[in-house]
């Protein structure tokens, strides 16, 4: 399934800033959620405005990421004006 965002939305992928999972298991309550950072680095998948290219890494506030689930597929969208910075290699 393909999602085509419309302006002002940018589709992003959450995998850029994923952490490796520990091989150790700790039992926690079902409703436990670890504290999140107030920002996150994500990869751009699609930008209808053309300002960001596929694979660009952008930083944005965590709370504004919108998750959409359709037919078992998860997509993530953010509004363009919430993107704080682009990460570039030196």
Tens of pLDDT, residue by residue over 37-75, are: 899 999 999 999 999 999 999 999 999 999 999 999 999
Percentage of the chain exceeding pLDDT 90: 67
Tokens of 23: 């091989």
Percentage of the chain exceeding pLDDT 70: 93
Cβ-based neighbours of 43, under 8 Å, separated by 6 or more: 12, 13, 15, 16, 55, 56, 57, 58
pLDDT of residue 18: 60
pLDDT at 20 over 60: no
Mean pLDDT computed over every residue of the chain: 89
């Amino acid at each position: 399934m393909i999602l085509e965002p419309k302006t002002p939305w940018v589709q992003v992928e959450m995998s850029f800033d994923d952490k490796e999972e520990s091989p150790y298991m700790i039992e926690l309550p079902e409703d436990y959620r670890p504290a999140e950072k107030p920002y996150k680095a994500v990869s751009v998948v699609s930008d209808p405005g053309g300002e960001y290219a596929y694979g660009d890494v952008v930083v944005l506030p965590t709370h504004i990421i919108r998750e959409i689930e359709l037919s078992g597929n998860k997509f993530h969208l953010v509004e363009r004006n919430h993107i704080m910075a682009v990460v570039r290699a030196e």
